[in-house]
């Protein structure tokens, strides 16, 4: 019998075929690796705070802050802000949770006590304690202003045109102080007056506490109120109030950092 022949099959060396095989294996391995990694999700546009209130995302980035000679560009990280001011109903629930009786607040009528109206007559410590209880905080004045005016430097949350009665709750006729609490409306009453991010009542309604110092004795408040003239509704308007004051135009909303 003759000797059997062994057929030798050529193996790829540095040929294009070998490079193709190696490249395919590497790409397949990388695909498995990437699929095994958790993907970083974009922050949700709206979440619910621990107090049950809806909160709206304000994206991070640059915006125009201030007005006149103080106008400048600032950059902030993303955060969530309460879509509405804290209401009397939510504040009453907070007091119940911490076992504290409600303080007597400044000149508040039964009409203003309706649950869907903004809480008023709370001092800075009251506001800060509420936010902290739910793992949140008061906004800085810079955060508050970005939430109110967005990135285009607009004068008011709704744009640059003057306030009208369908945009905000304010002293439009110079007589609101004589109308009792009729000007203190439920939160979210002015759809056309919301900010670029969909946050309500950042102009008018109640003046809002921030965490920022105006000077060594006062805290910055923002937003005007139902009892003052339209000049104070400007998104960049700021003034200071003593932290222990409890006024019938003073309320607040909370903020939490975005992941």
Residue 5 is assigned to a structural domain of this protein:
no
Answer whether residue 71 shows pLDDT above 90.
yes
Answer whether residue 117 shows pLDDT above 70.
yes
Residue-number span of the structural domain to which 118 is assigned:
46-257
Lowest average pLDDT, out of 32-36, 46-50, 146-150, goes to: 32-36
Residue 150 is assigned to a structural domain of this protein:
yes
**Which are the contacts of 13, defined by CB distance < 8 A and separation ≥ 6?**
none
Quick one: which H or E segment has residue 81? strand 79-82
Residue 209 is assigned to a structural domain of this protein:
yes
The CATH number of the domain holding residue 102 is 3.90.1580.10
Quick one: which H or E segment has residue 88? helix 88-98
Radius of gyration of the chain (CA): 28
* Residue linked to tokens 């609101």: 176
Residue 234 is assigned to a structural domain of this protein:
yes
pLDDT tens track for 202-241:
999 999 999 999 999 999 999 999 888 888 999 999 999 9
Residue 24 is assigned to a structural domain of this protein:
no
pLDDT tens track for 74-115:
999 999 999 999 999 999 999 999 998 766 554 444 445 568
pLDDT tens track for 140-189:
999 999 999 999 999 999 999 999 999 999 886 655 554 555 668 899 99
How many other CB atoms are there within 10 angstroms of residue 101's CB atom? Answer: 7
Could you tell me the pTM of the whole model? 0.80
Q: Which two tokens stand for residue 18?
A: 């070998």
Note the helical H segments in 119-228.
124-133, 141-149
DSSP state of 41: P
Q: How many domains does the chain have?
A: 1
Cα gap 180→189, rounded to integer Å: 18
User: Average pLDDT for residues 5-17, to the nearest whole number?
Assistant: 54
């Amino acid at each position: 019998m003759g000797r059997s022949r062994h057929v030798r099959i050529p193996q790829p060396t540095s040929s294009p075929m070998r490079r193709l095989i190696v490249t395919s294996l590497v790409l397949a391995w990388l695909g498995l690796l990437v699929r095994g990694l958790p993907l970083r999700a974009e922050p949700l546009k709206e979440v619910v705070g621990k107090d049950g209130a809806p909160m709206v995302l304000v994206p991070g980035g640059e915006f125009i802050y201030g007005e006149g000679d103080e106008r400048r560009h600032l950059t902030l990280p993303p955060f969530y802000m309460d879509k509405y001011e804290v209401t009397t109903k939510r504040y009453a629930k907070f007091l119940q949770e911490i076992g504290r009786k409600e303080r007597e607040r400044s000149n508040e009528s039964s009409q203003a006590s309706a649950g869907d109206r903004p809480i008023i007559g709370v001092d800075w410590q009251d506001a800060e304690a509420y936010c902290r209880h739910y793992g949140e905080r008061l906004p800085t004045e810079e955060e508050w202003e970005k939430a109110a005016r967005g990135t285009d430097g607009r004068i008011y949350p709704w744009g640059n045109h003057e306030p009208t009665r369908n945009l905000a709750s304010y002293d439009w006729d110079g007589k609101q102080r004589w109308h009792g609490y009729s000007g203190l409306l439920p939160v979210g009453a002015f759809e056309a007056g919301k900010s670029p991010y969909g946050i309500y009542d950042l102009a008018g309604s109640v003046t809002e506490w921030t965490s920022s110092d105006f000077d060594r004795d006062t805290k910055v408040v923002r937003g005007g109120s139902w009892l003052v003239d339209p000049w104070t509704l400007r998104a960049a308007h700021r003034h200071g109030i003593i932290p222990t004051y409890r006024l019938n135009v003073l309320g607040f909303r909370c903020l939490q950092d975005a992941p």
